[in-house]
């Protein structure tokens, strides 16, 4: 949200049904006001960013496979959810509507008490979305024991994930040059290296 509000896109729509908690504050930029806690996340972010730009419309709502009307006129989407089953429904909707989108996620595990894992950015366009989805790079179910849900102090991983996603989006738009178009980018948190799976 922070990065997108600083682009010249005409409109930004956002949907999230959940309330704003302390762990959300750890994962987002800016200060925390005590009166934000417990409010709907869209209300919190609408208040933070509506003075920065016009065309910001955030709604406390869960997106499901039957939400076609909410995406009328949408030209690109970002999927940022920690539920595989919710992600599957959103994928169904966006692929059916022919909207290009980026899905982000991270998988964290414990190694001798320390966190390790991958940050993932997956680009799905109408011409290859079904093929990329079939590669099972993106979790579409809800496995138990996910460390992401247990550890709140990972602001830098969320920021890096968002940075990579917005960079990929700006490459899609032609703002940044792209020498090797890719559909899946992985960063291992234990190594300063980005793994890229290029388009065929």
151 pLDDT band (50/70/90 cuts)? Answer: low
- Residue 71, domain member (yes or no): no
* Residue that the structure tokens 């989805």 belong to: 133
What pLDDT digit, counting tens, does each position of 22-56 carry? 888 888 888 889 999 999 999 999 999 999 999 99
Q: Give the total number of structural domains in the chain.
A: 1
- Its pTM surpasses 0.75: yes
In this model, does residue 147 exceed pLDDT 70?
no
- Candidates 74, 118, 116; CA nearest to 93 is 74
- Candidates 188, 176, 194; CA nearest to 3 is 176
- Residue 167, domain member (yes or no): yes
- Residue 77, domain member (yes or no): no
The confidence score (pLDDT) of residue 110 equals 82
On average, the pLDDT of the chain sits at 89
Give me the domain span that covers residue 155.
103-200
Phi-psi region of 98 (alpha: psi -120 to 50; beta: other; left: phi over 0): left
- Residue 20, domain member (yes or no): no
What are the angstrom distances between the C-alpha of 193 and each of 91, 122, 185, 188?
28, 17, 10, 7
The confidence score (pLDDT) of residue 163 equals 94
The confidence score (pLDDT) of residue 153 equals 65
- Residue 163, domain member (yes or no): yes
- Residue 111, domain member (yes or no): yes
In this model, does residue 105 exceed pLDDT 70?
yes
- Residue 25, domain member (yes or no): no
Which residues lie below 8 Å from residue 99, measured CB to CB, with a gap of 6+? Answer: 71, 74, 75, 76, 77, 126
- The HSE-up count of residue 88 (CA atoms within 13 Å, CB side) is 9
Which residues lie below 8 Å from residue 11, measured CB to CB, with a gap of 6+? Answer: 55, 56, 57, 73
The confidence score (pLDDT) of residue 116 equals 84
- Residue 16, domain member (yes or no): no
The confidence score (pLDDT) of residue 144 equals 61
Tell me the average pLDDT across 63-76. Answer: 96
The confidence score (pLDDT) of residue 124 equals 95
**Diameter of the chain by CA atoms?**
50
Q: How many other CB atoms are found less than 10 A from the CB of residue 94?
A: 23
The confidence score (pLDDT) of residue 152 equals 60
Helix (H, G, I), strand (E, B) or coil at 106: strand
């Amino acid at each position: 949200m922070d990065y997108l509000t600083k682009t010249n896109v005409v409109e930004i729509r956002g949907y999230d049904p959940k309330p704003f908690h302390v762990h959300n504050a750890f994962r987002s930029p800016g200060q925390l006001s005590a009166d934000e806690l417990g409010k709907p996340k869209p209300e919190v972010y609408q208040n933070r960013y509506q003075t920065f730009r016009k065309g910001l419309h955030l709604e406390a709502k869960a997106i499901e496979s039957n939400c076609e009307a909410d995406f009328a006129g949408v030209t690109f989407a970002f999927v940022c959810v920690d539920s595989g089953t919710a992600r599957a429904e959103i994928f169904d909707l966006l692929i059916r509507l022919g909207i290009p989108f980026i899905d982000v996620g991270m998988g964290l595990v414990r190694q001798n008490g320390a966190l390790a894992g991958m940050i993932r950015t997956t680009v799905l366009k109408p011409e290859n979305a079904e093929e990329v989805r079939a590669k099972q790079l993106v979790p579409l179910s809800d496995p138990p024991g996910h460390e992401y849900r247990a550890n709140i102090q990972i602001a830098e991983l969320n920021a890096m994930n968002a940075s990579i996603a917005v960079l990929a989006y700006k490459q899609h738009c032609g703002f940044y040059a792209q020498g090797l178009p890719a559909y899946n980018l992985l960063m291992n948190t234990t190594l300063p290296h980005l793994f890229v799976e290029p388009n065929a």
